[in-house]
Chain A
C-alpha cells in the first residue's frame, strides 16, 4: 500500500515535489478538483505566485474543501503555498489566504529576484535533532508573528523560516529545489496510518 499525497496543481513548481515524494516511496496525485481531495492523505501547496494560486482556488471551488481537508490531514506549504495557508500581516485584496496557520506573513519580503539566495539552515526537531541543510529562497515571504501553538523548526537571521503547527508544516523557502526530503518526511511520514482504508 502506497501513501497518496496530493500536489495542488493550479500553478507553480508542483512537479518538483513529485521527485521527492517518489524518493520517500509515496505516490503523487495532481489536485485540480475538489473531489480529488478524498483520494489523498496529505497535500503540498507549492511555490508559485500567491495571487494566481489564490484566484484559482476560488475559480476551482477549492476554498471550503481545502479548509475541511486541513482539519484531518497534513498540509505542507512552501513559499507561496505557505502564504496561502497563513494570515497576511497586511490585508491585501489580491491574495485571499486560508488562515489555517496561526502566523502572520509578509509577501516578497526580501525584495526582487536579485535578492533571492541559497543558504544553509540549522533545523531543530522536537528540541533535539539538529540538521544542516542548504535551501533556496526565491522572492521569499517572511513570517512576522506566530502564536504559542506554533513550533519553530528553523530560523534565518533570527526570523522563523520553517514552522510546524499540529500536523501542518510551513516553509518560506524551497526544499524541493535542493532535493531536501526532511520536511516531506516530517509532514507525511505518518500518512499510511492516517488513512488505512485506502
Chain B
C-alpha cells in the first residue's frame, strides 16, 4: 500500500476536487458547521478573520492547534489552515495536525521577508496567493498545488482580486506566440522558472487549479471572479461579517454554480440583508496592504 505517497499529482488532485466551489473562513466549530451546511467545499480554520486582523493590528500567526482540531471534529469537508509566509515550523505543525491544505498566506504577518516555504517537502498540499504571473510561477516552482489571487483580504472590496485576475490572464495570453528565446527573456523579466513559463505558454493556463480570493462579499462578486476565469472562490470576512451569514453563504455557493445565469443570479442576490461594510482601497495605506506581502 502506497499510503503517504508524496506526489505532486495526488496533491493537485484535491485541488481539482474543490473546483466549482466556495471555501469559507471560519473561526470556530459553530461557524464551520454553518459553512458545511451552506454547501462550502472546504473551510479555512483561522483565529481571526482577515477584517478583524486588519482592525486589531499586531502580529497575526498560525491558529492555535486546538481551534483547528475542534473544527476538524465538527465537519466532514476538507479543513485548511494558514501558516505565515516562510514559517517552516508552522507548516510542519499543520502537516502534523493532518490539515487537508495549507495556505502560506499574506493575511498572516510574514516570518521571512525574502523566502517562502519549499512546499515540495510536504505531504499536505499548499495554496499561495499571487498578483501576477511571475509570483504565481515562483510559488508553483516551490511546490504550490493551487494558486489564488490575493485581492485585498478583509477589505470587502473586489477591485484588487479583479486586478490580479485580469493581470494574470493578460500575462498568460501574452506568452502566446513567443518563441523559445523570447520565453527565456520573459522568464528573466518576470522572475519565474523558465520551464514553467514554457509550460504555461504551451497549455495557455496555469498548470495547477487557479482560484480567487480577497474581497469577495456578495454572490455577484463570486460569480464575477468565476466569469473572469477562477474555478473556485475563497470567502474570508464576507460571510461572517455580514448580517445573515448562513443565507449569504448559501447564496454564494449557488452563485458559483450558476455563475453565468443572469436570471438565477438576480434571484440569488435578492433579500440577503446587509453585506460586510468594506473599505475603499485608497483608504488603506500602502504599508498596510496585505497583498504586498509575498516575494
State the A residues within 8 Å of B (CB).
9-16, 32, 47-49, 51-52, 55-56, 59-60, 79-80, 92, 94, 107-108, 110-119, 136, 138-139, 157, 174, 177
Contact = CB atoms under 8 A, between A and B. Distances in A.
B101 interface: yes
B207 interface: no
A11 B9 contact: no
A10 B100 contact: no
A56 B98 contact: no
Identify which of A11, A94, A110, A138 gathers the most chain B CB atoms within 10 Å of its CB. Answer: A11
Given A113-B101, A116-B10, A108 B76 contact: yes
Given A52-B39, A113-B125, A59 B254 contact: yes
Contacts of A80: 17
20 contacts: A10-B257, A14-B19, A47-B17, A48-B18, A48-B20, A49-B21, A52-B40, A55-B38, A55-B39, A55-B253, A80-B17, A92-B76, A107-B76, A110-B3, A113-B125, A114-B95, A115-B4, A117-B10, A138-B10, A138-B16
Contacts of A16: 16
Interface string B242-281: 0000000000011011100100000000000000000000
Contacts of A114: 4, 95, 98, 123-124
Given A49-B41, A114-B123, A11 B10 contact: no
Contacts of A113: 11, 14, 78, 98, 100-101, 123-125
B13 interface: yes
B21 A52 contact: yes
Contacts of A56: 39, 253-254, 257
A92 B37 CA distance: 12
Contact of B14 (A10, A11, A52, A139): A139
A135 to B, nearest CB: 11
Contacts of B13: 116, 136, 138, 174, 177
Identify which of B17, B21, B261 gathers the most chain A CB atoms within 10 Å of its CB. Answer: B17
A119 B7 CA distance: 12
B100 A11 contact: no
A81 B19 CA distance: 14
Nearest to B125: A113
A47 B76 CA distance: 15
| Tier of interface size on chain B | 35 or more
Contacts of B256: 11
Given A113-B100, A118-B10, A138 B17 contact: yes
A12 B17 contact: yes
Nearest to B19: A13
A4 B2 CA distance: 37
Contact of A117 (B4, B17, B98, B261): B4
Given A114-B4, A118-B5, A12 B20 contact: yes
B59 interface: no
B99 interface: yes
A72 to B, nearest CB: 25
A102 B98 CA distance: 33
B207 to A, nearest CB: 14
Given A114-B95, A139-B78, A157 B1 contact: yes
Contacts of B20: 9-12, 14, 48
B167 to A, nearest CB: 24
Interface string B40-64: 1110000000000000000000000
Given A94-B36, A112-B98, A116-B10, A48 B2 contact: no
Given A49-B77, A51-B77, A112-B99, A13 B4 contact: no
Contacts of A119: 1-2
A15 B19 contact: yes
A12 B18 CA distance: 6
B21 A48 contact: yes
A107 B36 CA distance: 15
Contacts of B258: 32
Contacts of A15: 19
Contacts of A49: 17-18, 21, 41-42, 77-78
